Amino acid sequence: MVFSSLIFVFLFFASNILTQLFIKDTRKKNIVMLGFSLVFYAWAGIRYLPLLLGMTFICWFFALRIDESENVKQRKLLLGVCTGICLLILAIFKYTGFFLTELKLFTGVPEVIPQVVLPIGISFYTFQLISYVIDVYRGQTAPQSKYWLLLLYSSLFHQCIAGPIVRYSDINEDIMRRRTASFEFSKGITRFAIGLAKKAVLANGCAAVADKFFAADNVSGSPALGIWLGAFAYMLQIYLDFSAYSDMAIGMGLMSGLHYKENFNYPYAAVSVTDFWRRWHISLSSFFRDYVYIPLGGNRCSGQRQIMNLLAVWFLTGLWHGASWNYIFWGLYYFVFLVIEKFIWTGYDKIRVPLRRLMVLAVVFFGWVIFRFENLSTLGAALRGMLCLNHNSFSDLSVSLEFKNNIFFLIFCVVAVTPAGKYIKKIFAGISRENTAALWIYTVIDALIPVALLIVSMMALSGNSYNPFLYFRF
């Protein structure tokens, strides 16, 4: 079950939100929410539900033991064992095939590589649970004495599958004493409708353009301009797709009295690569900053040590995204540009902002090309094809027709990934405060927008029952 499906919107989530509205007791609300969350997770494969239950139990148990202990060495040992178990479980499911494939390449063994299916959401809930245990160790949050409440935190269906990575300290108060204000409920509906439309209309539309010339099975024969067009559409798609999931998660949280932090802040408007990563997948970036980079020394050390810290962070960032060399290269690709910005190109800040934005977009554009193809030979074919080095044509009639047929759609998508809509709404809100007629028009439009978006989304989803989000596979 995915957010962008009719069964989820009209049956599962509608039932969930009705129970949350009619049940007044917080404890009962949490029990019902836990039930919905476990059903949602089990829908994708009930055989992996015990894994989620088990990892949550491990972290619940060790966090209590860490809090009880007054011995520093024992606390460190408990933290190390718990974190090690969680990371080992993640590695077994996510990287066994990758490591054994590489081992077989060099040694010839094993003869048969086992096919390990990646449990959905394991990368996200593993990091959430690790952050919880570390925060208990640091004294930044009190341990949860009730296992089922920690399980509610780790399994919340709003964000368990594909983020954002929510820290326990951010929503503990909401879980224990949540109330849903009417204005927040309305805001949540709007945010959910925006996210659904982003996915069902914009992201899926961009995917259709990207797959035309930028899919793994036809990229080597695509015209150069077709590959560029496909890469551009994919760049729009991956932002619209992932930010749509975050929008929907945040919106559903607001409707249930839970406040999740923002996960995107218009990253394609960034003025540097560093700025891009402060705006893109903020929950993951902040996780690596707070639990890897800073503990390694962060910026409080020599330049050489800072570079090594950055290398560790970006190697792990790439590896977290998938068990494939292209993700590792993608992480190291950003490491190189961050080192250039921080240590080599000291005059970068003096360049005019519009030019800096274009330079960042160019870096991000080619980064997504690396990210797209797990097969390195296909990645090489895509990069060569962009320069007509596959004996492919520069362009053809199909590219011209695809561009002309989608030009206005792509322009709209470009506007959608910028803060333009936010600024326009702010202007109209300012005008409405000074004019009664404008206030009435603004109120009506503000109420109709989510309705219109839901209708358009339902039309786009009808007959297309499965619309998986890109980050489901990570």
Distance, C-alpha 402 to centroid of its chain: 29
Distance CA 4, CA 192 (A): 11
Yes or no: say if 191 and 452 are a contact pair by the CB < 8 Å rule: no
280 φ, ψ (degrees, to nearest 5): -100, 130
222: which DSSP letter?
A: S
The pTM of this model reads: 0.92
Distance CA 293, CA 138 (A): 16
Distances from the Cα of 430 to the Cα of 106, 184, 234, 461, angstroms: 65, 21, 36, 35
Catalytically annotated residues:
321
The answer to whether the bond into 110 is cis (omega within 30° of 0) is: yes
Flag whether pLDDT at 25 surpasses 60. Answer: yes
Distance CA 155, CA 41 (A): 8
Say which range, 314-318, 436-440, 460-464, has the weakest mean pLDDT: 460-464
Per-residue pLDDT band for 473 (boundaries 50, 70, 90) equals low
Question: Which residue's entry shows tokens 């009719």?
Answer: 6
Diameter over CA atoms, the chain: 77
Counts for the chain of helices (H) and strands (E), in that order: 21, 0
Distances from the Cα of 57 to the Cα of 122, 152, 163, angstroms: 15, 12, 20
Per-residue pLDDT band for 318 (boundaries 50, 70, 90) equals very high
Contact partners, residue 413, CB within 8 Å, separation at least 6: 202, 205, 206, 236, 240
| Residue pLDDT, tens place only, 45-70 | 788 999 999 999 999 999 999 999 99
